[in-house]
């Protein structure tokens, strides 16, 4: 009898994957090193597969970081070195991550791809929710300012009505102008 290998599916929480998504050049991206770790392949092997299929990765799917972007990223992590990286890393957008599954043809790649796409979707939903919340807060603030002004007007009118009228001290009689 043959021994059947059972694939143990280890699902990485969406929140963990979402922490690996960065915004660079105004796009939500993942770094090649993080993706390779999730796919359980060497970064160089993943990048070789990408280079062999470079036509599948236009610049809106994948791009290489500049030195300045890479330094900013290291600064964000608080590291002085990135584990001996000799080449500037590639970053992949959501579409690039989806395209990676066609280049990396393993069960692990398919599973991770699904998890990563779910993380991108969750992040997009959170951003949409935050925009809606920000819009609502702006509306509330505008209404609050308007109401505050009305309350100030009401209080000043009430103050005038409840205060004693001032008596003018003056001469009794008529004023005759010459």
State the total domains in the chain.
1
Task: Decide which of 121 and 6 is more confident.
Answer: 121
What whole-number distance in Å separates Cα of residue 164 and Cα of residue 160? 8
| Closest listed residue to residue 11, CA positions, set 112, 147, 117, 144 | 112
Residue 31 contacts by C-beta under 8 Å, 6 or more apart in sequence? 20, 22, 73, 89, 90, 91
Residue 91's domain comprises: 14-125
CATH number at residue 72: 3.10.260
Task: Considering only CA atoms, give the Rg of the chain.
Answer: 32
pLDDT at 55 over 70: yes
Question: pLDDT tens for residues 138-165?
Answer: 777 777 777 777 777 887 888 888 877 7
Residue 146 resides in a domain: no
* Residue 5 confidence (pLDDT): 43
* Residue 1 confidence (pLDDT): 45
């Amino acid at each position: 009898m043959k021994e059947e290998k059972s694939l143990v599916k280890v699902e990485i929480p969406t929140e963990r994957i979402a922490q690996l998504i960065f915004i660079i050049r105004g796009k939500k991206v993942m770094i090649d090193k993080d993706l390779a770790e999730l796919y359980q392949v060497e970064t160089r092997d993943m990048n070789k597969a990408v280079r062999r299929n470079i036509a599948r990765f236009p610049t809106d799917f994948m791009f290489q970081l500049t030195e300045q972007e890479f330094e900013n990223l290291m600064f964000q992590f608080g590291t002085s070195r990135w584990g001996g990286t000799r080449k500037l890393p590639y970053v992949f957008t959501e579409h690039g991550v989806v395209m990676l599954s066609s280049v990396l043809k393993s069960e692990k790649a398919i599973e991770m791809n699904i998890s990563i796409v779910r993380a991108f979707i969750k992040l997009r939903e959170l951003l949409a929710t935050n925009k809606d919340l920000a819009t609502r807060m702006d509306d509330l603030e505008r209404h609050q300012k308007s109401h505050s002004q009305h309350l100030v007007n009401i209080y000043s009118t009430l103050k005038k009505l409840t205060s004693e009228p001032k008596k003018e001290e003056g001469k009794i009689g008529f004023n005759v102008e010459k």
